[in-house]
Structure 1
Amino acid sequence: NQVLYTPMCYKNGTIVDDLLCYRIGEEHYYFIINSANHDKDLDWLKENAEGYDLEILRDISPGYSLFAVQGPNAEKAMQKLVSRDMNKLKFFRLWKDVKIDDIDVDMISRTGYTGEDGVEILVKNKYASRLWKMIMEAGKEYGIKPCGLGARDTLRLEAKLMLYGNDIDDTTTPVEAALKWTVDLDKDTDFNGKEVIKKQIENGTDRILKGFEMIDRGIPRHNMEIYNTDGDKIGYVTSGNYAPYLKKTVGLGYIDRPYHKRNTEIMIDIRGKKKKAKIVKTPFYKKSYKK
C-alpha cells in the first residue's frame, strides 16, 4: 500500500520518464506514467524485464480514468463519498478496492501533481462520468472547480514538480535535475545508470536545475537562453510562468556552475531582449502535503 516517485533511467543515466510506482501487493505493482511516453515506457519495461523473474501482465491504460481531487478541502469532500476514515490515508499511501456508492474504485492514493494535499482515484472508464458528477457534488460546498492543464502546470511549477519533456528528458540525469534524493546507491542491486549517477554525486555536474525569479517584466518560456551579466550563455529555461499565488513570475532552468548560487543575477533572452532575473530558493511555494 505504498507509493514511490522515481525516475526510470537509461544505461547512460539519463531519464526515460518519471513516474509513480504503486505497490498494491507483495509482488504486484502499478506504474502511472506520463501519457505522452506511453509507448516508449512500455517498450523500456519489456526490454528491461528480460532476465528477471517478473512479467508485465497488462497495459490497463485504455480502460481506466484517473481523477485528481486536490486542495485543502479535498479530504473533506472525499469523506462524503468514502466510508473509510480519509484521515488514515497517509501521504504516498494507497487503498485498493474501495466502494464509492455502488462504484468499484480500483485505487485511491494520497498523491497528486499540484503541491497541495489531495487524492488521486483510479477507476474504470465505464464509471468515470458518474464518479465525476459525484465528486463535483461532494465538493460543491467547498467551492470545487474543474481545472485544466494550464492551472495544473502553474501549480506544479510553484511546487517545483518536474515536467517530463521540459525539466527532465533523455538528455538530463537525476543529479543534474536535483533529483538525487530519488536514487539509492546503498542498495546492493544494480540499476541502469548507477555508475554514472554515482560519479556525478561524488564529483558534481557542470550544470544543475535551479529556480529563478524575474526582476524585469517578461514571461520566460521553454528553451529560452540564459546568460550571465557579461553576456555569456550559461543555460536555458525549462519552465516558466506567472505564479498567481506568489504574484511573481518564476521559472526553472539548467544553469552552468558557478552561476547557480542563490541571488546570482542572470539574464534571460525573451524574444530578443535580455531580461533580468535572479536565482532563488525552491520550491517557490511550500508544499501543503498532509504527512
Structure 2
Amino acid sequence: MSDLKKTPLFDVYEASGAKVVDFHGWALPVQFSSIKEEHVAVREAVGMFDVSHMGEIKVTGPEAEAFLNYALTNDVTKLTDDKAQYTVLANEQGGTIDDLVLYKVGENEYLLVVNAGNVDKDFEVLSAIEGFDAKVENVSAEFGQLAIQGPRARSVVQLAVEESIGDMKMFNFKRNIQVAGYGVILSQSGYTGEDGFEIYCRAEDTVGLWNHFIEAGVTPCGLGARDTLRLEGGLPLHGQDLTEEISPLEAKIGFAVKLKKDSDFVGKQALIEQKENGVPRTRAGFEILERGIARTGYEVLDSKGNVIGEVTSGTQSPSSKRSIGFALVDTDAYELDKEFYIKIRKNEVRARFVSTPFHKYN
C-alpha cells in the first residue's frame, strides 16, 4: 500500500481493522465490518463513507459561467447560488469523459466534484479549452469529503449544526456552515439511493468530523456497500456504465444534457444526431431468474444466442436477495420484462429486463 495515494483517514482505517484495497490508485476500505451489514445500516438507519478520494476542480473568472456552459452538457446558466447540478464532461463524439457535480459557490466561482480516477484527465481536458477568461485549478488536495447516508442521516447531521437543515432538498447546499464545529460545505446529495448529505471540509478537519459522527453512532461503510447501494439505486458508475465510448443518452442520463441551451458545447452535434436518429444502444436494468451473479463484461444474448450487448455492472442485491445489474444492449433488442440470457462462465443463464431503480426510498 506504500505506493498508493491515501486520504486523511488512512490511519483510521488501519486502526479499525478495515479491509483496504487499491481503488484507482487509492488505498481505500472495501469494508469495515461486512458489506451486507454496512448496506443494511444505510438502508435502515445511517452510514458514513470516506469519499475524500473524489477530485475537486475550481473554476473562477469573469467568464467562468460561459466556460463551463461550453465544457459541460447541462445548462450552467440555470444554476443559482447554493445550488448544485449533475452534469457531464463529454468528448466531441458525445462520449462521457466523466459525470460530475457542479457547485456554484460564489459569483464567478464554481467547484466541480469529479470521479477519483478521472481527476487528472478532467483537469487536462478543461485546461485545454481556450477563448474564455476563466481559471481552472485542481484543488483536490485541499479537501476531505464525507458522505452521511440513510433515513436517519438528516437527524444525525441536524444534531451537529445550529441552523435548520430540514428544508434542504436534493442538490441544495450551504456554504460556510459549521458542522460539529468545523467550517464546511454541506450538500444534500449522495450516491446510495437514500436521503443523505455530503460534507466538504478542509483536509485537516476530516478526521475530527469522522470521529464526531462515529461517536454519534453512525456506521462506517466502505466501497463494497457503496457499490451495492448505488446499483440498487439505479445510479451509473463511470468506468463501467459510463465511458468515453458510451454517451449520456445511451446511459439514460439525458436529463443532464440540455441540447436546447443557448450556447454550443463540446459533443453537442453528436448528441443531437443521437437524439434525432435514436441511440443504437441503451443501458438496461435486469434481474437474473436462475442461480448466478452477472459481472462486468459478461455477454448478453437473445433467445437465438445472438450477442446483443454486455453486462456493465452486476451484484446480488442485499435488500432483495436478487441478482441484479445493468447491461448495455442493442436498443432494438430491449423491451421491458423481455427475457434474455447472460453467459456466466460456460452457462447461459435466464434473465429479464426490469425497470430501475431497483430500490426506491420514500
Quickly name the TM-score band, shorter chain normalised. Answer: over 0.9
1:254-285 Cα shifts (integer Å, max 9, x gaps): 11132211111111011121111001111111
Per the alignment, residue 131 of structure 2 pairs with 51
Pair 1:89-2:168 in alignment? yes
Question: Is the 8 Å Cα contact of residues 180 and 212 (structure 2) preserved in structure 1?
Answer: no
Which residue of 92, 95, 102 maps to 1:14?
A: 95
1:28-66 Cα shifts (integer Å, max 9, x gaps): 111110011111011011012x1112111x322112110
Pair 1:258-2:332 in alignment? yes
Pair 1:25-2:106 in alignment? yes
Counterpart-to-counterpart distance in 2, 1:34 and 1:80 = 30
Per the alignment, residue 137 of structure 1 pairs with 215
Counterpart-to-counterpart distance in 2, 1:37 and 1:182 = 19
Residue type at the aligned position of 2:173: L
Q: Which residues of 2 match residues 98-137 of structure 1 at below 5 A?
A: 98-105=177-184, 107-137=185-215
Which residue of 49, 52, 71 maps to 2:150?
A: 71
Q: Which residues of 2 match residues 1-291 of structure 1 at below 5 A?
A: 1-48=82-129, 50-56=130-136, 58-105=137-184, 107-138=185-216, 140=217, 144-288=218-362
1:100-120 Cα shifts (integer Å, max 9, x gaps): 343222x00000000100100
Residue type at the aligned position of 1:51: G
Q: Compute the RMSD of aligned alpha carbons.
A: 1.1
Residue type at the aligned position of 2:238: Y
Counterpart-to-counterpart distance in 2, 1:181 and 1:110 = 19
Counterpart-to-counterpart distance in 1, 2:123 and 2:342 = 37
Q: Which runs of 4+ in 1 moved over 3 A?
A: none
SS in 1 for 2:160: coil
So what's the TM-score if we normalise by structure 1?
Answer: 0.94
Give the number of aligned pairs. Answer: 281
Counterpart-to-counterpart distance in 2, 1:137 and 1:257 = 49
Counterpart-to-counterpart distance in 2, 1:100 and 1:215 = 46
Identify unmatched segments of 5+ residues in structure 1: none
Identify unmatched segments of 5+ residues in structure 2: 1-81
Counterpart-to-counterpart distance in 1, 2:236 and 2:122 = 17
* Shift of residue 287, structure 1, vs aligned partner: 4.2
1:68-89 Cα shifts (integer Å, max 9, x gaps): 0000000110111101101022
Residue type at the aligned position of 1:146: P
Residue type at the aligned position of 2:212: M
Residue type at the aligned position of 1:231: G
Counterpart-to-counterpart distance in 2, 1:258 and 1:164 = 24
Counterpart-to-counterpart distance in 2, 1:170 and 1:89 = 34
* Shift of residue 247, structure 1, vs aligned partner: 2.0
SS in 2 for 1:236: strand
